[in-house]
Amino acid sequence: MVDKKKTARQTAFAVLEKVFSEGAYSNIALNQALLEASLSSVDKRLVTEIVYGTVARKMTLEWYLSHVVEDREKLDSWLYILLLMSLYQLQYLDKIPTHAVVNEAVELSKARKKGSEKFVNAVLRRLLRDGVADIASIKRKNKRYSIQYSLPVWLVKVIIEEYGEKRALAIFESLFLRNKASVRVADLSRKEELKQLLQAEDSLLAPSALVKNHGHFAGHALFEEGVITIQDESSQLVAPTLDLQGDEKVLDACSAPGGKTMHIASYLTTGQVTALDLYDHKLTLIEENAQRLGLADRVITKKLDARRVFETFGVDAFDKILVDAPCSGIGLIRRKPDIKYNKKMQILSRCKKFS
């Protein structure tokens, strides 16, 4: 639970700890924090910028810090994360006064562990005084691009080999651009009303979507009330293709985090959708969303490997089956920047077997 009295930076810090120390999804952890925190729209934008920016540029920030922090392994993980997010603000957010960044970092560290504030202050003051190391000094090209664009070396090599260096660099740059924030409107008869209320625009891709080029939807009362739900525009194109009549039994074989499951359930009246996943915490997330959207009576969750479906269910158990098969996830880096740190070269080889 996020403390509603937390400042923007305290909230961002809490989210980054969940992402880096607990393996939480950056987008889900951020949306949950914004939903629970009592912050102004300006502060919510700052939280979003700090979280996504720090995650997106993590390798770059780590390289910069390696020149001023001698032994990272001796640092508490929370302290290192605090330095990462503070350096991101100093290096990339020109409109934020440096003294505000340093002062709050000092206060955050002091509250966490007395005495640590001296170290935090010294590191940040040194970075302000001397500047960061020059990435251009890295001799090996792929390593230089890896640090500059915060991408694993193997991924840099793969993209350059596939697209050529010029186009690859354009792709690398594009990964730092912010995606539009998008939601699905639960009741389309209210879409025009909600568009005005949320100061949003119609999606050019999905009839059920509203989008914002700047800002976000998380934390709005309409989200808590189940009137809107966070879902990517392209994801909203899937459920309509099933041509659901309302009474079907549907299987969502690879369901987490549940956006498509909820969309399918919204088309059902007497039917049900069974959502599978391998992990309890992901199924819990689906169940919570079903409750929030008023769809719990149409959603069943089950912990099961989709490859073992026919050992559990009969051959005719479902009228329609959706298999959004796991892929490399590389195409989602802009929206979920933490993905790039959790993937290995082998994932591409495995995915090619099914392409």
- The binding site for S-adenosyl-L-methionine comprises 254-260, 277, 305, 324
β-strands 209-212, 272-277: how paired?
unpaired
CA–CA dist 333, 20 (Å, integer)? 16
Angle at 8 between CA 4 and CA 10, to 5 degrees: 75
**Numbered residues of the known binding site:** 254-260, 277, 305, 324
Q: At what angle do helices 280-292 and 259-266 cross, to 10 degrees?
A: 40
For tokens 């879902």, name the residue. 231
CA–CA dist 268, 272 (Å, integer)? 7
Query: Do the Cβ atoms of 138 and 159 come closer than 8 Å?
Result: no
**Sheet with strand 272-277: strands edge to edge:** 299-303, 272-277, 249-252, 320-322
* Token pair listed for 127: 């970075």
